[in-house]
Homo-oligomer: A and B are copies of this chain.
Amino acid sequence: MGHIWLAQQPCGARPEFLTAQGDDLPVELYAKAVDEDTSIVPVTHVCFKNGFRSSVREICRIAHAKGALVLVDDYQDCGTRPVNVKELDVDFYVTGTLKYLLGPSGVAFLYVRKELIPLLEPKISGWFAQRNPFAFDVRHLDLAPSARRFESGTPPIPNIYAASAGIELLREVGLENIAVQIRKLAQLLIKGARDLGIRIKTPSDSMGPLVVLQSGKVEAIIGRLAAENVICSGRHDGLRISCHVHNTRNDVETVLELLKKNRKLMEPGTNAA
């Protein structure tokens, strides 16, 4: 998300970054940084680097008190538990089907608080944003009154079918059930890694879905795991393990056994960032 906001600097934006305290980004940092000059507070619900979970409601309270809007990026969590944008009180919420919604890349979602919709005119537009796309009136911008005004051109249609299938599957299982299972697995993985003496970058009370373990040889451990059909990713010095409802205790035990076997690759190393 950083790149997206940094790219707005030619329009006058002055992005400010908060600096995590260790693996934690306490809400007090937002309270200190947000003032009357703050236009928008972009928040990652779950951090892509260490799985830290932001206190969205509290951040909204801080931002709104100063007249700032809040945008939540839920890409790293959506699909793992129920989410209610109105309860969270966010102004914007974005996510996509690529990750825990079990869909393909190419389909993303934007929620905009209803009162804000008519006040916002997108600079990226197209025929799908028009009140009546089939008017083919290329000489007038006649934005839809609904959130459809934020669409642009023809979307990637085939992907929508795959995306729907993923969402239907998750709803069939039930998002509450999914959350319970993911928390169990995340806690099992954190406990097991701790017992192996591995440094855990994810806060210890994490409900998942990301569990990130420190490794001095991230690429090497990813390769060893992949050889045993355990697919993980790496971000800087973090081995990133994702739990979802289709995973079992057995999966977690397999990972832990492989980590034990490759314990040396999990020492802190020189590729930290």
Contact surface of A with B, Cβ cutoff 8 Å = 1-4, 6-11, 17, 48-49, 98, 104-106, 121-127, 129-130, 136, 138-141, 154-159, 162, 235-236
In the bound complex, how far is the Cα of B156 from the Cα of A155, in angstroms? Answer: 11
Q: What are the 3 closest A-B residue pairs judged by CB atoms, nearest first?
A: A106-B156, A2-B138, A7-B125
Is the pair B154, A158 in contact by a Cβ cutoff of 8 Å? Answer: no
CB-defined contacts of A158 to chain B, threshold 8 Å: 104-106, 158-159, 162
- Docked Cα-Cα span, A1 to B158, in Å, equals 23
B-side contacts of A17, CB under 8 Å: 138-139
Chain B CB within 10 A, most for which of A106, A121, A124: A106
Docked complex Cα distance between A129 and B10 (Å): 17
Given contacts A1-B138, A17-B139, A138-B1, contact A125 B6 (CB under 8 A): yes
Interchain CB contact under 8 A, A123 and B8: yes
> Does B156 lie within 8 Å of A105, measured CB to CB?
yes
A-B contact pairs, 22 of them (CB 8 A): A2-B139, A2-B140, A3-B126, A3-B127, A3-B141, A4-B124, A4-B125, A6-B125, A6-B139, A6-B141, A7-B124, A11-B123, A49-B136, A104-B158, A106-B155, A106-B156, A106-B157, A106-B159, A136-B235, A156-B156, A156-B159, A159-B159
Known: A49-B136, A138-B1, A235-B136. A121 touches B155 (CB 8 A): no
Chain B residues whose CB sits within 8 angstroms of the CB of A155 once the complex forms: 105-106
In whole Å, how far is A181's beta carbon from the nearest beta carbon of chain B? 26
Residue of B nearest to A127 (CB): B3
Across-interface contacts of A105 in B (CB, < 8 A): 154-158
CA distance in complex: A237, B22 (Å): 65
Task: Give every chain B residue within 8 A of A125 (Cβ-Cβ).
Answer: 3-4, 6-7
Shortest distance between the CB of A188 and any CB in chain B (Å): 27
With a CB–CB cut-off of 8 A, which chain B residues contact A8?
Answer: 123
Question: In this complex, which of A9, A127, A130, A159 has the most chain B Cβ atoms within 10 angstroms of its Cβ?
Answer: A159
Are B122 and A7 within 8 A (Cβ)? yes
